[in-house]
Amino acid sequence: MKRSFVKMQGCGNDYIYFDCLEEELPQPEKWSRKLSDRHFGIGGDGIVLICPSETADAKMRMFNADGSEGKMCGNAIRCVGKYLYESGAVPKKDMWIETLSGIKRLILTTSGSQVLSVTVDMGSPILGASEIPTLFNLDTVLDHPLKVNGQEYRVTCVSMGNPHCVVFLNEVESLPIVTIGPQFENHSMFPERINTEFIHVIRRNELRMRVWERGSGETWACGTGACAAVVAAVLNGYCDEGADVTVHLNGGDLIIRDVGETVWMTGAAVKVFEGTVEL
């Protein structure tokens, strides 16, 4: 069976997109593992299925490179908006996309028939320790000590549909993330594993971020992670609520605005190439 796909990326967070509006993709967990391999597959952080929805303009399902299904991906949903608009499937600059973490609103900035950037209403951050979920015996995990591999870190935990652990450090460029990332991801305090954002505060309302995503490893960007990082930075007094915060990721910049009741994320969405694959 041959299926068409589109490779797209947002700040280097790259996925393989399948149009499932008319035809489902069987065994997506299996194909995410096989196709995401950067040596023996197409290569990517996972696959995304663009599906019909009874409650929104379309539905996004995303699978990590290890085959696990994620609830939400901020970079991927921008690319879903771009695909739907440019393909003519949803010719609207203000659209709604169903995800496992709720229905998200997208506002598209366009030039002619091309989508230049997408702003996403990422919803309200979840701060309840048990809701994220974590096993901390606390109401919220704010600048709390956590011992990882014998070293103590100060962590703030936030869910933006996906669980995140935010760690503020003096610098992140030399961080051995391949070693420390899995230790956070699989820590006993996180029953569903965790995404971890390592943050250096450059100046007020400007952050440098590296991210270890559960199921994918270090990625070039994570939209929900950037939102969680800004929420954590506001809570810890590094950034201002209601201000545009620039988050520098390995793959580019995102603009995040935490207004309290919701978090807005703005960034680019880029088509890399399209093709067909034998399944």
pLDDT tens readout for residues 169-186: 999 999 999 999 999 999
What phi, psi does 180 have (nearest 5°)? -80, -30
Cβ-in-10-Å burial (0-12, 13-18, 19+) of 240 comes to middle
Domain presence at residue 138? no
Q: What is the pLDDT of residue 199?
A: 98
Assess whether 251 and 149 both reside in one domain. yes
CATH number for 188: 3.10.310.10
Residue-wise pLDDT tens digits, 146-173: 999 999 999 999 999 999 999 999 999 9
Residue 136 resides in a domain: no
Q: Are residues 256 and 158 in the same domain?
A: yes
Closest by CA to 158, choosing from 215, 96, 245, 227, is 227
13 labeled binding residue: yes
Residue 194 and residue 114 share a domain: no
CA pair distance 157, 223, nearest whole angstrom: 16
pLDDT digits (tens, 9 = 90+) for 53-93: 999 999 999 999 999 999 999 999 999 999 999 999 999 99
Residue 14 shares a structural domain with residue 115: yes
Q: Is residue 178 part of a domain?
A: yes
Confidence (pTM):
0.91
Write down the residue that tokens 């320790």 correspond to.
129
| Same domain? 21 vs 104 | yes
Question: At 134, is the pLDDT very low, low, confident or very high (cuts 50, 70, 90)?
Answer: very high
Q: Read off the pLDDT of each residue in 16-42 and give the average, rounded to a whole number.
A: 97
Tokens matching residue 123: 């919803």
Identify whether 79 is a catalytic site residue.
Answer: no
- Active site (annotated) includes residue 222: yes
pLDDT band at 266 (very low <50, low <70, confident <90, very high): very high
Mean pLDDT score of the chain: 97
Mean pLDDT of 216-237: 96
Range of the domain at 108: 2-123+267-278
Q: Is residue 151 domain-resident? A: yes
Query: What are 48's two structure tokens?
Result: 């995304």
In a shared domain, residues 191 and 169: yes
* Number of domains, the chain: 2
Same domain, 116 and 151: no
Same domain (yes/no): 77, 169:
no
The answer on whether 109 is annotated among ligand-binding residues is no
Domain assignment present for 133? no
137 located within any domain: no
Cα distances from 133 to residues 52, 187, 229, in angstroms, run 29, 12, 17
Which of 73, 157, 165, 239 is catalytic? The answer is 73
Residues 74 and 150 in one domain: no
Alpha-carbon distance of 96 to 81, in angstroms, equals: 9
Q: Pairing state of beta strands 144-148 and 114-121?
A: unpaired
Tokens representing 17 are 């997109």
Q: Is residue 49 domain-resident? A: yes
Q: In the prediction, which pLDDT does 180 show?
A: 97
Answer yes or no: is 186 a known binding residue.
no
Task: Based on the fold, state whether residues 51 and 94 are members of the same structural domain.
Answer: yes
Whether 132 is covered by a domain: the verdict is no
Tens digits of residue pLDDT in 84-123: 999 999 999 999 999 999 999 999 999 999 999 999 999 9
